[in-house]
Amino acid sequence: MRSATPEGQRLLATATLETAVDLRDVACDRRPQGAVARRGPGERVRRAEPGPAGPLVLEARRAVHGTGLEVWGPAPTPAEAAECALEDAIAWIGGRDEAGALDALAASDGRIARLLAARGRLRLSRLPRVGEAAGRAVLGQLVQGVEARRSAAQLVGALEAGPTAGGVTPWPTPEALRRAAEATLRRCGISGRGVRALRAAAAEDARLDAARHEGWDALDARLRALPGVGAWTSAETRLALGDADAVSVGDANLPGLVGHVLAGDRDCDDDGMLALLAPFAGQRGRVVRLIETSVARGIVRPPRRRAPRAAVSAHRYW
C-alpha cells in the first residue's frame, strides 16, 4: 500500500485522537490482493467501506500528537455519510474501546500484570459491519487461518464491484452475497455449509445489526439461530465487533494456548480454559486477545508443537 493520497478520491472528513493508538492491534488483511484493510509504511492502515456515492477509504496513521484519521471518497458523498465513516474509522482502530479495562484485574492478578507490563494496553479493533465480521468467522470454520485468509481474499476479489483507490476493496455487501452463484462461492474454497451460513447471514443482515445494538446476548442468540453458525462462529463474530467477553469455545488450538500461558498446561481443554478465564468475567475475550498478541510478538513463548501441522486444504471443498 502506497502512502500517497488515494487516487481519484477527495478528502471528506478528518479527526485527530489525542491518544497514540498502537495500530498493530488493528485488524488487517495479510494478502495484498482482495484486501479490505491493509498496513502501509509509516505506521499507517487503510480499509475500504461501501458508501452512498461509491466506496470510501478510511485511513489512520501515527501523528505527532496522537493518531490522525481521514476519510476519502467520491465528491458527491453526503457529509453525514462521511462523518459516519469517520466514526467507523475511530472504532476500527480501537479509539472507542476501553483500553484500561484490564488495569483493575492487573492489580490483583500477577499473570495479567506481567503481560500488560511487557505488551502494553490492548485496544480491541471493531469492524464497522456485522456482515463482514460474520462472514470472516464463517470462512474460518474448520480450517487453518491461512486457508480462511485465502478464502476471504478470493471472495472479495470474486464479488468486488470494482477496485477501490488506495489498494483496498470493500467486503461484499449482503446483496452481493445473496446474488452470488453457489459455484462462485465454492470456488473461493468455501464449504457447502459455509455457503449456506454466508447466505443466511446476508439475508438476516438488518436483523443482526439491530441485535448488535440490543446487546451482545441478543446478537449471540440471533447468530446462533442461523444454519451453520454455532458457539465458535458467534464468538468470533462478536469479538471482531468489540465484545470484550467473547470466548471462542470449540477452537482446536485456543485452549492449549490459554492453558499454556495462564497455567503451564498445554493439555487444557475447553472446560479448563473457561475455568482459567472465569476470574476475568466480562473481559475474557480481551484476555484471550492479550495472550494471542503476546505470543505473536514473542513476549511469551508458544507451547511446543507435538505433531506436524495439518495439511492445508483438507476441508476446503466439502
176 and 86 housed in the same domain: no
pTM for the full predicted model: 0.93
Vertex 242, ends 73 and 163: CA angle to 5°? 25
Residue 302 pLDDT? 87
CB-CB contact of 215 with 208 (8 Å):
no
Q: How far is 145 from 174, CA to CA, in rounded Å?
A: 23
Q: How far is 29 from 151, CA to CA, in rounded Å?
A: 12
Q: Within its chain, how far is the Cα of 73 from the centroid?
A: 23
- pLDDT tens digits for 135-192? 999 999 989 999 999 999 999 999 987 667 778 999 999 999 999 999 999 999 999 9
Share of residues in the chain with pLDDT > 70 (%): 93
* CB environment 12-21: b (16+ within 10 A), e (fewer): bbebebeeeb
Q: Which domain holds residue 90?
A: 10-96
Domain termination residue (choose one: 96, 111, 138): 96
Flag whether pLDDT at 233 surpasses 80.
Answer: yes
Q: How far is 15 from 150, CA to CA, in rounded Å?
A: 33
pLDDT band at 63 (very low <50, low <70, confident <90, very high): confident
CB-CB contact of 244 with 282 (8 Å):
yes
Q: Within its chain, how far is the Cα of 204 from the centroid?
A: 20
pLDDT band at 43 (very low <50, low <70, confident <90, very high): confident
Domain termination residue (choose one: 184, 206, 240): 240
Number of residues that make up the chain: 318
CB-CB contact of 229 with 133 (8 Å):
no
134 and 236 housed in the same domain: yes
Chain-wide mean pLDDT for the chain? 92
Residue 164 pLDDT? 72
Find the Cα–Cα–Cα–Cα dihedral 165, 166, 167, 170, rounded to 10°.
-70
61 and 151 housed in the same domain: no
Is residue 266 assigned to a domain?
no
